[in-house]
Amino acid sequence: MDILLGVVLPLSLAIIMLSLGVGLTMADFVRVIARPKAFLVGAACQVLVVPLVAFATIQIFGMTGELAAGFMLLSFCPGGVTTNVVSKLAKGDVALSVSLTATISLLSILTMPLAMAWAVTHFMGANAPEISVVSVAVSMFLITAVPVGIGLATRELSATFADRIEPGLSKLAGVLFLIIVVAAVAANWSIFTENLARLGPALIALNVFLMALGFAIPAMLGLSRLEQKTISIEAGIQNSTLAITIAPLIMGTVGVFTVLSLPAAVYGVTMYLVALPFVLWFRRA
The residue that leads in pLDDT, 3 or 9, is 9
The predicted pLDDT at position 187 comes to 66
Quick one: pLDDT band at residue 212, thresholds 50, 70, 90? very high
Q: Is the pLDDT of residue 221 over 80?
A: yes
Q: Quick one: pLDDT at residue 46?
A: 92
Structure confidence at residue 32 (pLDDT): 67
What is the predicted pLDDT for the residue at 184? 66
Q: Give the total number of structural domains in the chain.
A: 1
pTM higher than the cut 0.85: no
Q: What is the pLDDT of residue 163?
A: 81
pLDDT the model gives residue 8: 67
Q: If you average pLDDT over residues 175-185, what whole number do you get?
A: 70
Contact present, 258 and 247 (Cβ < 8 Å): yes
**Choice between 227 and 18, residue whose per-residue pLDDT is larger:** 227
Q: What is the mean pLDDT of the chain?
A: 83
pLDDT digits (tens, 9 = 90+) for 125-170: 888 888 888 888 888 888 788 888 888 888 888 878 888 887 777 7
Which of 110-119, 191-200, 247-256: highest mean pLDDT? 110-119
From 41-50, 70-79, 186-195, 225-234, the region with the lowest mean pLDDT: 186-195
Q: Average the pLDDT over 220-244 and give the result.
A: 90
pLDDT at 190 over 80: no
Instruction: Considering only residues 104 and 35, tell me which one the structure prediction assigns the higher pLDDT.
Output: 104
The stretch 67-74 carries a mean pLDDT of: 93
Query: Which pLDDT belongs to residue 130?
Result: 83
Range of the domain at 158: 2-284
Q: Taking 90 as the threshold, does the pLDDT of residue 48 lie above it?
A: yes
CATH of the domain at 71: 1.20.1530.20
pLDDT for residue 28 is more than 70: no
- Rounded Cα distance, 36 and 3, in Å: 43
Determine the pLDDT at residue 96.
84
Contacts of 55 (CB under 8 A, 6+ apart): 72, 75
